[in-house]
Amino acid sequence: MFVSLEGPDGVGKTTQAALLAERLRATGLEVVQCREPGGTGLGERVRAVLLDPEATMGDRAEALLFAAARAELTEAVIAPALARGAWVVCDRFIDSSLVYQGLARGLGLESIRAVSLFATGGVLPARTLVLHGVDRRDDEPDRMEAAGADFHARVAEGFLELAALEPDRVRLIDARGSVDEVAARIEQALEDLRP
């Protein structure tokens, strides 16, 4: 079973991804936890370039680098894990590209969807949890976080738009409140997928 956690920067999804993986493991399931971009030797190197505040690149190059990292992670880690019946919990996946590059950068949802599905060979999460409603960004922004308030407003809106387009797969999770309260909302949104 493949689950991704998504949302704007600083919404708390990395904490929740780790807690979800822990809860699933406690029930005896094999869980592979990963993050995007990253999770492979190549992916971590591409991540360093993409987030380097000193790096400059055009929007299309940026989109293709995210896609390259995703292709590697899917082939080397996610597809083999799914094939042996493990759960995969991924901190960001295709929807980050749809929102950040497709909507916020303005490259278009359909072209980014096509590039991303080419990268993953069609692999998509069974459920995507979009956390929203808070901003706990710290004060040392990486290249993406430094993209400006307008850009991040488009990102926040873009995730809501995406959830409305694919309500079955993409579920909105209110990220306000305590870590435990948010975790409980996540559990509820996965109830029908649990063994």
Site membership for ligand TMP, residue 96 (CB under 6 A)? yes
Find the part of the chain contacting ligand TMP (CB under 6 A) among 32-40, 73-81, 120-128, 133-141: 32-40
Q: How far is the CB of 188 from ligand TMP (least distance, A)?
A: 24
Torsion angles phi and psi, residue 173, rounded to 5: -120, 120
Report the largest interatomic distance among the alpha carbons of the chain, rounded to a whole angstrom: 46
Site membership for ligand TMP, residue 102 (CB under 6 A)? no
Tokens in use for 166? Answer: 């694919």
Residue closer to ligand TMP (CB basis): 60 or 194: 60
Partners of 171 in the beta sheet?
A: 129
Site membership for ligand TMP, residue 152 (CB under 6 A)? no
Q: How far is the CB of 191 from ligand TMP (least distance, A)?
A: 26
Q: Find the Cα–Cα–Cα–Cα dihedral 64, 103, 76, 13, rounded to 10°.
A: 140
Site membership for ligand TMP, residue 74 (CB under 6 A)? no
Q: How far is the CB of 37 from ligand TMP (least distance, A)?
A: 5
User: Which residue ranges make up the site for ligand TMP (CB under 6 A)?
Assistant: 9, 35-37, 66, 92, 96-97, 100-101, 144-145
